Amino acid sequence: MTRALLTLTARQLLGRRRSLFIVLLALIPVLVAAVYRLAGGQTDPLPIEFAAGILDTLVIAAVLPLTALVFGTSALGAEIEDGTAVYLLTKPVARWRIVLVKIAVAAGATIALILPPAVLASVIVLGGDEAALTPALAGAVAVGAVVYCALFVALSVRTSRALLIGLAYVLIWEGIVPSIFDVTRWISVRQYMLGTADLISGAPRDVLAADLGGGPALIAAACLTVLTAFAATRLLQRFEIGQRL
C-alpha cells in the first residue's frame, strides 16, 4: 500500500503543466549565472561571492520555497479539494504513514527539480573552483525541501487557502521578518538552510551570511519537521471532508 501511495502521489505531483512551471522557475539561477559568466565577471563581485548570492537570494529565498509550496500544498491538499481523499482515508492505512509519504514525495520532487539547475548555476559561476559550495548547496536544498514540504502538507490539511497563506509566509515571514527581529532566526527555514550550507562548505562565514551555526540549524530543522508532521497527522486523524476553512 505504501508503494502504491508513493507512486500515485508522484504521478499526481509531476503533472506536465506543474513540472514545466517548476522547471522554468528553476532555470532562473542558471540564466543569471550564464549572464555573469558571459559578462566576464571575475573580480566584482568575486565568483564565490556571486555564487553564494545566487544560492541565498534566488535558490534559498525564492525558487525552492515556491517549489515546495506548490508540491507541498498539492500532495494531499489536491485530493482533499477534489474529494478523492475520502477513498484514501477509508483505507486501512495509518494516518502518520500517509503524512510521511506525502512529505517524502513532495520533498523528493522539490529536490529532483531544483537541485540540478542550482548545481549547474554554481558550476557555471565558479568554473570548477570552490567545489565545496556544491555539496553545501545540495545539503541546504535537501534540508529546506523537507522542512518546507512538512509545513505545507500540514497547512493543506488545515485550510483550503494553504497556497495563499503559504505564499504570504514565504514572502513575509521568511523574507522580511528575520531581518527585523533577530530572534526569529530560530524559526526561519531560510536560516536553517544557510546554516547547513555554511557548515558543509567551510567558506568564510560572511560569504553565506548565516545567522545560525550548522549544528543548531540542523537540530532546529529536525524539530520543526517532526512537530509539523505530528500536527499534520493529528489534523488528519480528526479530519472530515468539507470541514476546512
30, pLDDT greater than 60: yes
Which one is predicted more confidently, 124 or 129? 124
The pLDDT tens digits for 78-100 are: 888 877 777 777 788 889 999 99
pLDDT on residue 52: 81
Q: b or e along 103-137 (b: 16 or more beta carbons within 10 Å of the residue's beta carbon)?
A: bbbbbbbbbebbbebbbbbbbbbbeeebeebbebb
User: Is residue 81 classed as helix, strand or coil in its secondary structure?
Assistant: helix
* 58-85: average pLDDT: 89
Q: Where are the domains of the chain?
A: 2-237
Give residue 36's pLDDT band: very low, low, confident or very high (50, 70, 90): confident
Q: Fill in the DSSP letter of residue 54.
A: I
pLDDT on residue 206: 62
Tell which residue, 172, 109, 59, has the closest CA to residue 164. Answer: 172
The pLDDT tens digits for 186-238 are: 888 999 998 898 888 766 666 677 778 888 999 999 999 999 999 999 998 88
The pLDDT tens digits for 144-159 are: 999 999 999 999 998 8
* 172-196: average pLDDT: 82
- Average pLDDT of the chain? 85
pLDDT on residue 28: 93
Query: In the structure grid, which three cell numbers stand for residue 66, read together?
Result: 515556491
φ, ψ at 210 (rounded to 5°): -80, 130
